[in-house]
Amino acid sequence: MAEAAQTISDHIHKMLDDLTRAERQLALSVLENYPASGLGPLTALAKDADVSVPTVARMVQKLGYKGYPEFQAALREELKAKVKTPIAKHDTWAEAAPSGHILNRFTEAVIENIRLTLGQIDPTAFDHACDLIADVDRHLFIVGGRITHTLAEYLFLHMQVVRPHVTHVQSTSNTWPHYLLNAKEGDVFVIFDVRRYENNTLKLAELAHERGAKIILITDQWRSPVHQLATVCLSNRIVVPSAWDSATTTMLLLETMISSVQTLNWTQTKARIEGLEDMFDQTKLFRKFT
């Protein structure tokens, strides 16, 4: 086997001197568009480098691999590792804890979730969702399920500050049909639904959709069935080393959305926040600092 510590391309560079002319020509061709060319069939590589098939086979073994497939596997491994951003393979996050400690394992998983979630998000769709939520001419309904209702409430709390006409609906409660009576065309529903997807939520979404409301769905990577009715669907990776799924990534997306909406409605928000601050000062519910 080849050494582990370094990349394969480094390894090839080091070996360059020990290679013969044709082999060197081949090696340089591999490095030319690395690593793509090494991932194709041996024959193609040989033709590409303008060397013969046995030369490839010989060189690969000279590099220390048992065969071409093993070489390819190594390249794939390296590629896999490379795609993860440098920050993601920060092996220990809690430096004082061993790398196997749950603090590090969990954090690593969440960072990976964030990377994958953000990597696949469509900024246009995201912006569109924010525009809809920021539009005060539309009534805003926020719908959460059994677990997600905490996230829904978090959004609700902030939207209350940013704009009027916000309603928090719990899909698990019996009261939601009443809210729906008030929903009219063009209104916006932000619906949270992660596995296990809730039948109530789906029904609510269907009714909302029938009434011509826009639906913004916040779900997981497997996507709630609601997504077929949704104007915008934002999906999150939620898998972590735990018996439950993680809401952290969703929280991040949510807060980003809040921040964005807040900016869109800034003049309104500013006035409302100041009003709130005054009230806090008067009620002395909060302390100013420390």
Contacts with DNA, residue ranges (CB under 7 A): 20-24, 41-44, 50-55, 57, 60-61, 66-70, 72, 287-290
Candidates 16-24, 45-53, 182-190, 208-216 — which segment interacts with its own copies by CB under 8 A? Answer: 16-24
Task: Kindly report the number of other CB atoms within 10 A of residue 65's CB atom.
Answer: 18
Fill in the per-residue mask, 70 to 99: x = in contact with its own copies (CB under 8 A), - = not in contact. Answer: --xx--xx-xx--xxx-x--x--xxxxx--
Closest separation between CB of residue 230 and its own copies, Å? Answer: 11
- Site residue total, its own copies (CB under 8 A): 97
Are the C-beta atoms of residues 230 and 105 closer than 8 Å to each other?
A: no
Give bridge partners of residue 232 from the DSSP assignment.
216
Which token pair is 49?
A: 């480098």
Task: Kindly report the number of other CB atoms within 10 A of residue 117's CB atom.
Answer: 20
Bridge-based pairing state of the strands 188-193 and 214-220: parallel
Are the C-beta atoms of residues 97 and 104 closer than 8 Å to each other?
A: yes
Residues 75, 65: Cα–Cα separation, whole Å: 11
Candidates 30-38, 54-62, 183-191, 206-214 — which segment interacts with its own copies by CB under 8 A? Answer: 30-38
* 18 contacts its own copies (rule: CB under 8 A): no
Return the SS3 of 217. strand
From the list DNA, its own copies, none, which binds 276 (C-beta under 5 to 8 Å, kind-based)? Answer: none
Is the CB of 62 or the CB of 165 nearer to DNA? 62
Is the CB of 124 or the CB of 290 nearer to DNA? 290
Candidates 45-53, 54-62, 179-187, 280-288 — which segment interacts with its own copies by CB under 8 A? Answer: 280-288
Residues 51, 54: Cα–Cα separation, whole Å: 9
* 42 contacts its own copies (rule: CB under 8 A): no
Are the C-beta atoms of residues 140 and 187 closer than 8 Å to each other?
A: yes
* 170 contacts its own copies (rule: CB under 8 A): no
Return the SS3 of 219. strand
Backbone angles phi, psi at 236, to 5 degrees: -125, 145
Closest separation between CB of residue 208 and DNA, Å? Answer: 19
Is the CB of 53 or the CB of 97 nearer to DNA? 53
Positions 192 through 251 that interact with its own copies (CB under 8 A)? 195-200, 202, 221-223, 225, 228, 240-244, 246-248, 251
Q: Which of 269, 233, 272 is nearest to 253 (CA)?
A: 233
Q: Which of 169, 165, 168 is nearest to 137 (CA)?
A: 165
From candidates 114, 208, 216, 218, binder to its own copies by CB under 8 A:
114
Fill in the per-residue mask, 174 to 193: x = in contact with its own copies (CB under 8 A), - = not in contact. Answer: --------------------
